Amino acid sequence: MKSVLYLASIGLALHLILPQLPGIERSLVLISDSSGTLIAAAFFAILASQMCYAELLGRSTAAAAGIVPASKRRRMGLGRWFMLRLTLAEHGAARVLPGGGSSAAAVTYSGLRSRGLRPTRIGLAVATIMLLVYGTLGAIFLGSLLYLTLDNALGLVYSTAALVVFVLTLCLVLLGYFSYLRPLVAKRLMAGFFYSLGRIFRRKSWSRKRTEVWAARIVVNLKLEVRALREQLLGHPLAAIKLGALALGYWGFDALCLLIIFLAFGVQVDPVHLLVAFGVATTFGSLPLTPGGLGVFEATMLATLALLGVGYEAAIPVLGYRLFNFWLPIPLALILYPTLHIGASKYARREEDPEPKVPRKKRR
């Protein structure tokens, strides 16, 4: 069954990739004519980004499973090489399979289960890494919006919309923490707010009971996410700093790859403007609209750069960057995914096995 699903995934990937081949070929030709040193630097930057994510995944998994020493992680099949392969397979799946993030989570779950980890511990690890990675991206996005607003790059309407998004994001963060401290009060406030809002648009058909159920579900999920983050981070301040640095490194090296590609193509752009456009485009590209944000990232990136005064010449380096960021993980995932389950029988029931009983000595 796994082989059938794997072959079906390859077929779907080829179906999505083949129509893009002319554009990929054009980008490869342009890259081959650029500085070899800078292209190599861009490759190592994107590799460093993936390694940061792999290390973050490994540390989060180890913390969730209570495995502190690196030697014990290796014995359980959770070493750095396995985590890097799992990261590349996860990111490749997110770029070609429907569902994006959910497909990537399924690959992560399958890989960690093959090492004998319990579903609850896998869920805790995945929740932690998602909060760290996308929390960091959210902070970058808010900083980008703030810069665009203060720089007057947006019109009045878009500046107002950016300010609203900024405030709503901060409210969501506060709601998450409040849901952990006072879940009943948070549920009541949220239900009252959304019920009043819903009555404005659908006065007769809007149900208070349904709104309360929906609010309760959101509060419970937020409480679990915050608890997972609290258990993983607050009890270990030094480990929390390392995890935060890895999450920042994941996005930082990704942005560095983009900057190097612009240098390789000789397109002059203010690095601050490039980072702002990267933050906005990556955030919109992370939305579950297309696999890996294909098309969404490119359009948002070019539109944001245009607002900041960068011309059409930015299109070629953006496409060159996407060769590393979007296309490179796909063939690597096809190659590496089958290797994740090699030797899985050694670890399959390691966590589930009960501890051996020590025979008691008989009293004379």
Q: For the segment 308-341, what is each residue's pLDDT rounded down to a tens digit?
A: 888 888 888 888 898 899 988 988 988 988 888 7
Q: Please list, residue by residue across 239-257, b when 16 or more beta carbons sit within 10 angstroms of its beta carbon and e when fewer do.
A: beeebeebbbbbbbbbbbb
Residue 158: both structure tokens together: 């878009």
Positions of the chain with pLDDT under 70: 1-34, 66-72, 98-101, 152-183, 185-190, 192-208, 214, 219, 221-237, 343-364
Q: Return the SS3 of 324.
A: helix
Residue pLDDT, tens place only, 169-227: 666 666 665 665 666 766 666 676 666 666 566 656 666 677 777 677 776 766 666 66
Q: Return the SS3 of 270.
A: coil
Supply the pLDDT for residue 99.
Answer: 59
Residue 104: both structure tokens together: 């990537």
Task: Indicate the average pLDDT of the chain.
Answer: 75
Supply the pLDDT for residue 2.
Answer: 46
Count of CB atoms situated within 10 Å of the CB of 116: 19
Q: Which residues contact 77 (CB under 8 A, 6 or more apart)?
A: 114, 115, 343, 346, 347
Phi-psi region of 361 (alpha: psi -120 to 50; beta: other; left: phi over 0): beta
